[in-house]
C-alpha cells in the first residue's frame, strides 16, 4: 500500500452544532437544489441536520461546504450577510445567556465561557487597555478565512442586538489577506476593517462594558446557563462524543478500529457506560466505525495517487470484493461508477 495520509482536519474533533448551522444555511439564500447538492458532496447528513438536536457537524465538513465556487453564492459577501441576518437567539443557549445579561461585561464573560456549546474550533479572549477593549478570536487549527469572517461577524452581530440604540465597533481586524470584495466590508461591519493584521479581533470603547442591555433577565440567565454548563462540564462524554470518537478512528486508520472497551478506557468510563452514552444519542459504535470508513473511502477514491486496492486496504478491507460490496451499500453504486459520476459532474461545472 502506498503511504497515505488523511487531511489533519479529519483527525480533529472540532464541530459545530447543527441547530445553528441549519439556520445559517437557510440565510445563505442558496437554491434548494444547490444546497442539497453541496450538503451531499460534503457528506453532511441532511436528515440529522434537520431532526437530530445532538448532531454536531464535523468542522472539516463545514470547511468543504464553505469552499463553494463563487458562482454558487448570490454574492461574494453572502456568508457575512447570512450571519448578520441571524437573531441573537439563533445561537443555541448562548444567545439566551448573552441576551439576558445585565451588561456587556457580563455578556462577554458568558460568551467566552459558553462558546463551545455552538462550536469549538477557536476561543475568545478579552483585552482591555484604557479606553479601548479588544475581543480576540483565535482558531485552534488552520481554518478558512471564510470561517474566521463568519465567527467575527457573529460576535459583532450579537453585540449590535444587545443595546437599545445602534452601536458599531471602532474596528474589525483579520489576519488573512484581503478578499476580492474587501471594499464592501466596511459597510457590512459598520467600521474600518483591516486585513493582514496580527490577530482576528473586534475593538470597541471600554465604556460600553458597563452599559445596561435591553433584555437583562436574571431568571432566564440562570436557567439557560445551567443547561449550557451541564453540557460543557463533561464535554467529551456528552456534547462532542461522536466527533471525539470519529477523530480517534480517523487517527487509527489503516489499523483495525479499537474495541469499544478500549475506547471506553480512553474516556475513563466503563464499556456499559459508553454504550449508554451512545444510545442516548441514537448512535452505536459500529455505526460510527462504518461511517468513518465510508468517508475515508470517498475521500481516498477521489485522490489520483490512490489505487482502488490502496483505498480498500486503508479502510480495513482484506479483499477488494468486500470493499466493493460495502461501497455499493454506502453509495448505491460500484466505486468505478462513482468515479465516472464525479468526473461527469466536474465536467458539467466547467462548461
Q: What's the CATH code of the domain at 107?
A: 3.90.1520
Q: What's the CATH code of the domain at 314?
A: 1.10.10.60
Residue 68 has pLDDT above 80, yes or no: no
3-class SS of residue 313: helix
Residue 6 has pLDDT above 90, yes or no: yes
Give CA–CA dist 151/14, Å, rounded. 14
Residue 308 has pLDDT above 50, yes or no: yes
Helix axes 285-301, 271-279, angle to 10 degrees: 70
Residue 351 has pLDDT above 50, yes or no: no
In this predicted model, what pLDDT tens digit does every residue of 14-52 receive, in sequence order? 999 999 999 999 998 888 988 998 898 899 999 999 999
- Which of 232, 257, 275 marks a domain boundary? 232
Residue 345 has pLDDT above 70, yes or no: no
More confident residue, 335 or 342: 335
Residue 153 has pLDDT above 50, yes or no: yes
Concatenated DSSP letters for 5-51? ---GGGGS--EEEHHHHHHHHHHTT--HHHHHHHHHHTT--HHHHHH
Q: Which three cell numbers stand for residue 183?
A: 471594499
Give CA–CA dist 33/36, Å, rounded. 5
What is residue 146's predicted lDDT score, i.e. its pLDDT?
92
> For residue 203, what is the enclosing H or E element?
strand 201-205
Does 3 reside within a domain?
Answer: no
3-class SS of residue 202: strand
What is residue 350's predicted lDDT score, i.e. its pLDDT?
39
What is residue 311's predicted lDDT score, i.e. its pLDDT?
94
Give CA–CA dist 120/57, Å, rounded. 11
State whether 285 and 300 are in the same domain. yes
Helix axes 320-331, 335-350, angle to 10 degrees: 50
Mean pLDDT, rounded, for 293-322:
93
In this predicted model, what pLDDT tens digit does every residue of 190-216 receive, in sequence order? 999 999 999 999 999 999 999 999 888
Structural domain range at position 246:
236-350
Any idea which of 70-79, 132-141, 212-221, 278-287 has the lowest mean pLDDT? Answer: 70-79
Mean pLDDT, rounded, for 64-81:
81
In this predicted model, what pLDDT tens digit does every residue of 242-271 receive, in sequence order? 999 999 999 999 999 999 999 999 999 999
Question: Helices H, strands E: what count in the chain?
Answer: 17, 7
Nearest to 242 by CA among 8, 57, 106, 89: 57
What is residue 67's predicted lDDT score, i.e. its pLDDT?
79
State whether 117 and 249 are in the same domain. no
State whether 133 and 252 are in the same domain. no
Mean pLDDT of the chain: 91
- pTM value is 0.90
Residue 1 has pLDDT above 60, yes or no: no
Give CA–CA dist 40/22, Å, rounded. 14
Mean pLDDT, rounded, for 47-67:
91
Mean pLDDT, rounded, for 267-286:
95
State whether 216 and 286 are in the same domain. no
Does 103 reside within a domain?
Answer: yes
Any idea which of 101-105, 255-259, 339-343 has the lowest mean pLDDT? Answer: 339-343
Q: Are strands 201-205 and 15-17 parallel, antiparallel or unpaired?
A: unpaired
Does 10 reside within a domain?
Answer: no
- Peptide bond just before 254 cis, omega within 30 deg: yes
Amino acid at each position: 500500500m502506498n503511504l497515505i495520509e488523511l487531511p489533519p482536519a479529519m483527525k480533529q474533533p472540532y464541530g459545530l452544532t447543527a441547530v445553528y448551522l441549519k439556520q445559517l444555511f437557510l440565510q445563505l439564500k442558496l437554491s434548494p437544489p444547490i444546497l442539497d447538492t453541496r450538503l451531499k458532496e460534503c457528506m453532511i447528513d441532511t436528515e440529522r441536520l434537520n431532526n437530530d438536536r445532538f448532531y454536531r457537524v464535523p468542522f472539516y465538513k463545514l470547511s468543504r461546504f464553505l469552499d463553494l465556487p463563487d458562482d454558487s453564492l448570490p454574492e461574494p459577501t453572502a456568508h457575512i450577510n447570512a450571519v448578520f441576518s441571524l437573531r441573537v437567539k439563533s445561537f443555541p443557549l448562548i444567545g439566551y445567556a448573552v441576551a439576558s445579561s445585565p451588561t456587556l461585561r457580563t455578556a462577554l464573560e458568558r460568551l467566552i465561557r459558553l462558546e463551545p456549546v455552538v462550536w469549538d474550533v477557536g476561543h475568545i479572549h478579552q483585552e482591555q487597555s484604557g479606553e479601548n477593549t479588544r475581543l480576540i478570536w483565535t482558531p485552534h487549527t488552520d481554518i478558512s478565512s471564510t470561517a474566521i469572517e463568519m465567527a467575527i461577524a457573529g460576535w459583532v452581530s450579537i453585540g449590535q442586538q444587545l443595546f437599545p440604540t445602534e452601536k458599531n465597533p471602532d474596528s474589525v481586524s483579520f489576519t488573512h489577506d484581503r478578499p476580492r470584495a474587501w471594499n464592501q466590508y466596511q459597510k457590512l461591519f459598520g467600521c474600518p476593517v483591516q486585513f493582514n493584521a496580527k490577530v482576528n479581533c473586534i475593538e470597541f470603547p471600554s465604556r460600553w462594558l458597563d452599559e445596561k442591555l435591553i433584555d437583562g433577565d436574571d431568571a432566564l440567565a440562570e436557567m439557560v446557563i445551567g443547561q449550557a454548563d451541564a453540557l460543557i462540564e463533561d464535554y467529551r462524554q456528552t456534547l462532542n462524543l461522536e466527533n471525539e470518537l470519529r477523530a480517534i478512528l480517523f487517527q487509527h486508520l489503516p489499523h483495525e478500529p479499537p474495541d469499544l472497551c478500549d475506547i471506553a478506557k480512553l474516556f475513563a468510563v466503563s464499556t456499559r457506560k459508553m454504550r449508554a452514552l451512545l444510545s442516548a444519542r441514537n448512535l452505536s459504535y459500529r455505526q460510527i466505525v462504518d461511517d468513518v470508513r465510508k468517508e475515508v473511502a470517498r475521500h481516498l477514491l477521489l485522490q489520483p495517487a490512490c489505487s482502488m486496492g490502496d483505498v480498500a486496504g486503508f479502510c480495513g478491507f482484506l479483499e477488494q470484493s468486500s470493499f466493493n460490496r460495502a461501497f455499493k451499500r454506502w453509495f448505491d453504486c460500484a466505486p468505478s461508477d462513482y468515479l465516472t459520476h464525479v468526473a461527469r459532474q466536474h465536467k458539467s461545472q466547467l462548461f
